């Protein structure tokens, strides 16, 4: 599905009743997993991208080239719409224009931009400084109010803003963690779960590495996918079909 079609598909999803639940993915493989699990859209998390690409905190350390390249890799491997973190747009208004245009060319269906002073930070950590902006008046399709600290603040935001609202659900973050039914009751349209998968994978990696250190590979293997499942997920069956059709160059 081309970028414009993915953007149109995302708009269709937002027009449907109920809350759109969007899992966060941090690399191409996790994006594939989100799609194969039946979700209608995926989200490229800035926190997860910083952790997986450079092993650093989400504190504005990944630049425009790194983030746009990463977004393009994720968007190109899935057929569902990808919402991607665009940080602050990487500069002034002209830079923001270039960022949005580049993300769109790379197949991203939607981008979110933050109103922070540089260096930007994850919205659920200390030290961020905001710049007041009228995103609703500027024509944003969805409003992403980051890190409200109570149900009252969340409800008031929905009542005061005349645009679809996105709730960012971070386990252990500043905002009360809610499931789809609760978000719908409050009036939110998108429920974003940016680090749910990364937190789960981190826990699994820690457990498996502990077992490997003990040389307990039998227990590890009982908790793994098979190698065939892994090959299927990344597309080897389709690759082999093409290889048989076109052959290899002698």
The confidence score (pLDDT) of residue 114 equals: 87
Cis, bond preceding 119 (omega within 30 deg of 0): yes
Give the separation between CA 47 and CA 62, rounded to whole angstroms: 10
Q: Which residues have a catalytic role annotated?
A: 122
pLDDT in tens, 83-111: 999 999 999 899 999 999 999 999 999 99
Report the C-alpha dihedral over residues 204, 206, 207, 213, rounded to 10 degrees: 140
The confidence score (pLDDT) of residue 132 equals: 53
Contact 144, 112 (CB under 8 A): yes
pLDDT band of 153, cuts 50, 70, 90? very high
Contact 148, 85 (CB under 8 A): no
pTM: predicted TM-score of the whole model, two decimal places: 0.91
For the chain, the first-to-last Cα distance in angstroms comes to 34
Q: Is the pLDDT of residue 20 over 60?
A: yes
Give the separation between CA 193 and CA 167, rounded to whole angstroms: 9
Please, what are the domains in the chain? 3-201 (3.20.20.60)
pLDDT in tens, 106-132: 999 999 998 866 665 555 556 555 555
Extract the tokens encoding 26. 């941090």
Alpha helix positions (H), 18-134 = 28-36, 46-49, 64-76, 93-105
The confidence score (pLDDT) of residue 173 equals: 94
Give the separation between CA 193 and CA 171, rounded to whole angstroms: 8
pLDDT in tens, 164-197: 999 999 999 999 999 999 999 999 999 999 999 9
Q: What is the mean pLDDT of residues 213-242?
A: 96
Phi, psi (5° rounding) for residue 227?
-65, -30
Inter-axis angle of helices 93-105 and 3-15, nearest 10: 100
């Amino acid at each position: 599905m081309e970028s414009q079609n993915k953007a149109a598909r995302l708009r269709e999803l937002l027009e449907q009743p109920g809350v759109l639940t969007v899992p966060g993915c941090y690399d191409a493989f996790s994006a594939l997993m989100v799609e194969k699990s039946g979700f209608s859209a995926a989200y490229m998390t800035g926190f997860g991208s910083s952790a997986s690409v450079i092993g650093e905190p989400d504190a504005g350390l990944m630049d425009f080239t790194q983030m746009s390249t990463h977004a393009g890799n994720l968007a190109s491997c899935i057929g569902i719409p990808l919402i991607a973190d665009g940080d602050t747009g990487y500069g002034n208004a002209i830079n923001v224009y270039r960022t949005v245009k580049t993300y769109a060319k790379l197949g991203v269906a939607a981008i979110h931009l933050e109103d922070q002073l540089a260096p930007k930070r994850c919205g659920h950590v200390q030290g961020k400084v905001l710049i007041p902006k009228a995103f609703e008046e500027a024509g944003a399709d969805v409003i992403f109010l980051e890190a409200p600290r109570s149900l009252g603040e969340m409800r008031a935001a929905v009542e005061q803003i005349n645009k679809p609202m996105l709730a960012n659900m971070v386990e252990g973050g500043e905002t009360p963690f809610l499931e789809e039914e609760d978000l719908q009751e409050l009036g939110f349209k998108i429920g974003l779960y940016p680090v749910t998968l990364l937190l789960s994978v981190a826990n699994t990696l820690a457990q498996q590495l502990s077992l490997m250190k003990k040389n307990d590979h039998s227990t590890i293997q009982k908790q793994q996918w098979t190698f065939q499942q892994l090959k299927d997920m990344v597309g080897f069956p389709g690759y082999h079909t093409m290889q048989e059709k076109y052959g290899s160059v002698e």
